[in-house]
Amino acid sequence: MATLSFTEARRVVLERVLVPPTPALESVWLTDAIGRVLAEDVRCDRDMPPLPRSLRDGFAVRSADLPATLPIHGEIRAGQMPQTPLLAGQAISIMTGAVIPAGADQVLMKEHATRTDDNIETARPGLAGEWISAAGSMAKSGDVVVPSGRRVDAAAIAMLATVGRSQVLVTRQPVVRILATGDEVVDIARRPNPTEVRNSNSWALAADVKRFGGRPEILPIAPDDEKITRDLIEYGLGADLLLISGGVSAGDYDFVEVALANLGAEFYFDRVLIQPGQPTVFGQARGTFFFGLPGNPLSTMVTFRIFAEAAMARLSGVAHPELHFSRAAIESPYAHRPGLTRFLPGLLGDNGATVQILPWQGSGDIPALVRANCIVVVAPDRETWTAGDLVQVLTA
């Protein structure tokens, strides 16, 4: 079966999982819209701004008059309609956000004028349009200001509120079923004996599914038994997306791929040149996409972020899911054997300018992950980095 590089594997996910042609939709209140995917083009209901507005506290003037000493004729406050036009050789005191009076084509910032009694004096040259936001200059009535398919963030909420939308149409959140596997994995309500581990993956995945806009459903833990694994996977395939953790390595008791094959699965890759997460599996069975994520907690979380999240985004109606990397200078030299893209727990410092690769015990080291505030992405085609070299960083 297919072994792919990180970039190729991500491309395969995005080639396979497309935005559903007729996604289920629902209407939500603006307060509940955060993180959801808009299912309608939201348009401006009037020009923005509707009338020319001042961008500064200062004086409405005619640019042709400047520089000059001008008498002040009244004031315009935010929310007021100007009562008189500005005549040549005059200034009107104006506040930020207030409507520009007819006849004015420049706002003189307060800081650029010296006020003496009822006059202002300025050396500022005439600059037509300065500090004026022209009517319709941000958006015109009828313009699409938040497009369908856009995930709603605080900026989109501000725009939706600006156009008076208290309810918006969004896509239904995909239901993502989560199946942990492993004889040694026990429910968190149980006290594990020393050979067992508590099931952290289902909870971590559920948290990330929720955070990235899906509805998680945690299934009972599957022991390393082919029949039970198959039955639970079959149930899991009734969701919009199935995430399985563990059981995808080459061990004698790794039954996930066998169980999937028995259910008629089509596999698109089952090995990726990444670390952690090398045995990641992606495919489709009974019309539902699934990921088999390696069971080590860091592997599970990293592979969710770099692959499964994109699939979930597509199923939610996002046309162009993106992974947002930033760059930071590594604080100490680093070397690795090229070939694998590595994802390492990192600590960003200095306002994100520098990053330290944290010591860790491998992909089961949850305490190291908790100490980290980012994942450092080490390129597969390079061997050494010296302190100060830029590396890619994936933040929470």
Which one of the spans 95-103, 120-128, 290-298, 349-357 is the region binding Mg ion (CB under 5 A)? Answer: 290-298
Site string for ligand AMP, 7-46 (x = CB under 6 A): ----------------------------------------
Q: Which of 173, 296, 303, 341 binds ligand AMP (CB under 6 A)?
A: 296
Residues 6+ apart with CB under 8 A from 11: none
Per DSSP, the three-state class of 272 is strand
Chain length of the chain: 396
Side chain identity, residue 54: S
Binding to ligand AMP by CB under 6 A, coded x per residue (else -) over 346-365, reads ------------------x-
Name the percent of the chain in helix, strand, coil, to the closest 5.
20, 35, 45
Distance of CA 123 to the CA centre of its chain: 47
Residues of span 250-289 touching ligand AMP by CB under 6 A? 251
Burial class (CB in 10 A: 0-12, 13-18, 19+), 196: middle
Q: Indicate whether 106 belongs to the interface with ligand AMP (CB under 6 A).
A: no
Q: Which of 82, 101, 174, 182 binds Mg ion (CB under 5 A)?
A: 182
Q: Shortest distance, CB of residue 249 to ligand AMP, whole angstroms?
A: 4
Work out which of 236, 297, 317, 321 binds ligand AMP, going by CB under 6 A.
297
Q: Is 120 helix (H, G, I), strand (E, B) or coil?
A: strand
Backbone angles phi, psi at 247, to 5 degrees: 75, 15
For residue 78, give both structure tokens.
Answer: 């935010």
Per-residue contact string for residues 191-210; x = within reach of ligand AMP by CB under 6 A: ------x-xxxx--------
Distance CA 272, CA 143 (A): 44
Indicate which single residue of 52, 82, 246, 346 sits in contact with ligand AMP (rule: CB under 6 A). 246
Q: Is 297 in the site for Mg ion (CB under 5 A)?
A: no
The pair of structure tokens assigned to 101 is 């009076």
Does 228 bind ligand AMP (CB under 6 A)? Our answer is no
Query: Dihedrals φ, ψ of 169, to 5°?
Result: -90, 125
Q: Which one among 70, 160, 180, 369 touches ligand AMP, defined by CB under 6 A?
A: 180
Residues near Mg ion (CB under 5 A), total = 4
Dist CA 10 CA 253 (whole Å):
28
Judged by CB under 5 A, does residue 279 bind Mg ion?
A: no
Q: Residues interacting with ligand AMP, by CB under 6 A? A: 180, 182, 185, 197, 199-202, 245-247, 249, 251, 294-297, 364
